């Protein structure tokens, strides 16, 4: 028989004071875990962004090499040839500079692709990187000056193609010499 006021055995095992302490400890441990996760993300997130930017730069090199390969193939094929090329640009911009006969890809990234302030030959590309606050401005150039006359829709004009979620269709045509000494490579978006 129980004496009056004793209560159950379980109730005596966890007195009221102990139950409050458990909740305080749980809240403290949860806060500590959240702070640690925040600190880890603070250090890891910039590294993830840098790796993503590095991948975009590598894809851009591949895109420019594809453009260069099409231009070279068209020059060997002669006047009248036309090729289609799909451009998938998730970041940066592509300038078709008819006045200076070059194609330039520009991007601001968290990844430093090359040494700041120096031109680096990367196959057919010339890569130039400059610092801008915590970013790097990288320009990749295909220079056709003296080899081909680059035009956009038949004009020595500048056309800038910006990043988009869907791929662009770019047509490149060999228009022949047109009275000049260099073959005319004409670009046009489809």
CA distance 178 to 79: 10
Sign (positive/negative) of CA torsion 43, 132, 117, 101? positive
CA distance 82 to 88: 20
Complete DSSP assignment for 9-66? HHHHHS-HHHHHHHHHHHHHHHHHHHHHHHHHHHHHHHHHHHHHHHHHHHHHHHHHHH
**Number of CB atoms found within 10 A of residue 15's CB:** 10
∠ CA 84-148-99, nearest 5°, is 95
CA distance 114 to 122: 10
- pLDDT, tens digit (0-9, with 9 covering 90-100), for 123-181: 889 999 999 888 999 999 999 988 899 999 988 889 999 998 899 999 999 988 866 67
- pLDDT, tens digit (0-9, with 9 covering 90-100), for 61-116: 999 999 999 999 998 887 888 999 998 888 999 999 999 999 999 999 999 988 89
């Amino acid at each position: 028989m129980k004496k009056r006021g004793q209560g159950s055995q379980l109730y005596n095992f966890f007195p009221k004071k102990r139950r409050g302490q458990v909740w305080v400890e749980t809240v403290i441990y949860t806060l500590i875990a959240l702070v640690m996760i925040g600190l880890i993300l603070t250090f890891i997130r910039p590294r993830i962004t840098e790796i993503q930017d590095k991948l975009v730069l590598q894809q851009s090199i591949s895109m420019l090499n594809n453009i260069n390969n099409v231009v070279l193939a068209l020059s060997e094929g002669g006047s009248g040839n036309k090729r289609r090329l799909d451009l998938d640009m998730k970041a940066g911009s592509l300038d078709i500079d008819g006045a200076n006969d070059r194609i330039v890809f520009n991007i601001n990234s968290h990844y430093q692709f090359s040494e700041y302030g120096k031109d680096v030959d990367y196959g057919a590309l010339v890569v130039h990187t400059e610092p801008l606050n915590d970013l790097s401005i990288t320009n990749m150039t295909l220079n056709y000056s003296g080899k081909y006359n680059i035009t956009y829709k038949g004009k020595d004009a500048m056309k800038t193609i910006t990043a988009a979620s869907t791929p662009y269709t770019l047509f490149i045509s060999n228009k022949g010499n047109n009275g000049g000494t260099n073959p005319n490579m004409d670009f046009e978006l489809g």
